[in-house]
Amino acid sequence: KFERTVIGVALLVSALFIFSLLYAMGAKKGDVTECLPYDKSYEDARVNQVDKNTYQIFYVARMWNFEPSVVYIPVGSEVDFFVTSKDVVHGFDISEKNVNLMGVQGAVAKTTVKFDKPGVYKITCHEFCGTGHQNMQAEVIVN
Ligand code: CUA
């Protein structure tokens, strides 16, 4: 009788584990990210103001920095982020904004974020990319 209870609990625990795993995978799929056709212009790191409150920022990741490293934008801006890499695979994470992209050479990832609150938004590389990985970051300063 006791063994049955133990087996039951074990099954329940593994079922919960599998469920949470599937749930996490589903959540990841829900990210608003797009993959676009690639061309060489994405290797040109730059900020492009589209109109008063709309910006495009083209990031180039390489060991071990992002370019542009600091960008200033006004509060209320909507920003399209484009990310590519010049070498290995890098991460592009803005945790406060739930942004989680990959910088991959020969490909570009895109997402759009609205910045309604002033602050310093840290961009960090969350994909291990070598000895300088932990210092690989950039900032978006909203004011
Ligand atoms: Cu780039 Cu870690």
Gap between the Cα atoms of 42 and 63, Å rounded: 17
**Do 66 and 98 have their domain in common?**
yes
Alpha helix ranges (H) inside 38-98: none
Token readout for 88 is: 């290995």
pLDDT in tens, 32-56: 556 688 999 999 999 999 999 999 9
Residues with pLDDT less than 50, the chain: 28-31
Mark whether 87 and 107 lie in a shared domain. yes
Task: Give the number of the atom of ligand 1 that is nearest the alpha carbon of residue 63.
Answer: 1
The ipTM assigned to this model is 0.99
What phi, psi does 14 have (nearest 5°)?
-70, -35
Residues 45, 104, single domain; the answer is: yes
* pLDDT score of 6: 73
Q: Identify the helix (H) or strand (E) that includes residue 113.
A: strand 108-115
Q: Please report the pLDDT score of residue 98 as a whole number.
A: 95
**Single pTM value for the model:** 0.76
Pair (7, 60) in one structural domain:
no
The pLDDT assigned to 3 comes to 72
CATH number, domain at 115?
A: 2.60.40.420
Are residues 73 and 131 both part of a single domain? yes
Regarding whether 117 and 65 lie in a shared domain, the answer is yes
For residue 3, report the distance from its CA to the centre of ligand 1, in Å: 48
Distance (Å, rounded) from C-alpha 125 to C-alpha 117? 23
Do 53 and 118 fall within a single domain? yes
How many whole angstroms from 69 Cα to the centroid of ligand 1?
A: 14
pLDDT at 5: 75
- 52 and 11 in a single domain? The answer is no
Number of domain units in the chain: 2
Q: Are 68 and 120 within one domain?
A: yes
Do 94 and 137 fall into the same domain? yes
Largest CA-CA distance found in the chain, in angstroms, rounded: 71
Residues with CB under 6 A from ligand 1: 64, 90-91, 125, 127-129, 133, 136
The range of the structural domain enclosing residue 18 comes to 1-30
Residue count (the chain): 143
Q: Please tell me the predicted confidence (pLDDT) of residue 30.
A: 44
**14 and 42 share one domain:** no
CA of residue 96 to ligand 1 center, whole Å: 19
CA of 65 to the centre of ligand 1 (A): 8
